[in-house]
A = this chain, B = another copy of it.
Amino acid sequence: MLNKVVIFGVGLIGGSFARALRQAGAVRHIVGVDRSEAFLARALELGIIDSAAQTGTPVSDPQGQTLASGRRVSVSDPAGQTGTAARPVCRFEDAIKGADLILLAAPVAQTGRILTAILPHLDASTIVTDAGSTKSDVAAAARAVMGERVSQFVPGHPIAGRETNGPDAAIADLYQGKKTVLTPLAENGPTAVERVAAAWKACGAIIHTLTPEDHDKVFAAVSHLPHLLAYALVDDIERKPHSDLLFQYAASGFRDFTRIAGSSPEMWRDISLANQAALLTELDAYLAQLTRLRASLAAGDAAALEATYANAQRARRQWIETIEAAEPPQPKDAAAE
């Protein structure tokens, strides 16, 4: 049982972590920290968090009333009825103090800044983890900010998501049966890694372990490159003079191929740049592959085209069989990973 968990970013990822821990009875008190006043007020209202910490600007309650630090406020209870359940709004340093676990579920580019703000208030017994989609840059930022105390930081990446965002999108079973990849640092002791793993297991996740470097190479290939390719195709079509005609005839194959191009441009800009080296390697391999296929197409080489298509179909079929055997079916809107 974790006594106190602090979550930076009370949107889909952080909010679902909170809901899952609470549903598992694995936590006593959850503090939410967010840049967005509206998100904090909503997360309090939905019962996702027990208290909210300010990050500079004042926090408003759902009725728009400004909350002073430490003031107790009335908000709607989780069932949607307006009640008088008291929800504290605490100071940032009080939020951090005495935490068993801190999860950073804010955009990856903010990692260094958040760790800098946390560090002066961080107890020696607190473990910090994150939920970012890239890990080498997060590990580097943590080392740069925390120095020797980086032993308290265990990088992680839950492989789950939905296309919706914000506290309202948070659900308790988002991580159920999904992988969470931990990329422990050489500095981490076993107790630190175990505390993070136990929290994710309580959320229903299956723990995998990779080095930060291997993690980034793997996700460059199976996630970051497909996102770039999907964005590139939609942008390419949109810029053609007859794009209206083209979109008119785009059908379900196009819709699924480009679904990940519906993801947040800011988030994927940051991921692309954070994983620049590995993504460039994968993109270059793919460009070489396309150049080969172009030559086969131009030469009318039916056998070469069919060999590529057939190998892809076979490999994908085998992959689908493997994941279907290992995991429950994923919800239709499962998306960002």
Q: Contact at A233–B229, with CB atoms within 8 Å?
A: yes
Contact partner of A337 (CB less than 8 A), chosen from B159, B238, B252, B261, is B252
Residues 272-331 (chain A) with a chain B CB within 8 angstroms: 272-273, 276, 279-280, 283-287, 289-291, 293-294, 297-298, 300, 302, 305-306, 308-313, 315-317, 319-320, 322-323, 330
Tell me the count of chain A residues lying within 8 A, CB to CB, of chain B. Answer: 92
Contact with B along A221-235 (1 / 0, CB 8 A): 111011111111111
A179 at the interface (CB under 8 A from B): yes
A148 at the interface (CB under 8 A from B): no
Most chain B beta carbons < 10 A, residue from A256, A260, A335: A256
A218 at the interface (CB under 8 A from B): yes
Residues in chain B near residue A230, CB distance under 8 A:
257, 312
Q: Contact at B252–A335, with CB atoms within 8 Å?
A: yes
Residues 233-262 (chain A) with a chain B CB within 8 angstroms: 233-240, 243, 245-247, 249-262
CB distance from A305 to the nearest CB of B (A): 5
Residues in chain B near residue A276, CB distance under 8 A:
297-298, 300
Residues in chain B near residue A335, CB distance under 8 A:
252-253
Complex: how many Å from CA A285 to CA B253? 20
Complex: how many Å from CA A336 to CA B232? 22
Q: Contact at B256–A219, with CB atoms within 8 Å?
A: no
CB distance from A209 to the nearest CB of B (A): 12
* 13 pairs from A and B in contact (CB 8 Å cutoff): A179-B249, A223-B250, A223-B251, A228-B297, A231-B313, A232-B290, A232-B312, A251-B330, A253-B259, A256-B259, A257-B259, A258-B316, A287-B291
Given A234-B313, A262-B316, A262-B320: 4 more A-B contacts, CB < 8 Å? A231-B308, A235-B311, A262-B313, A272-B305
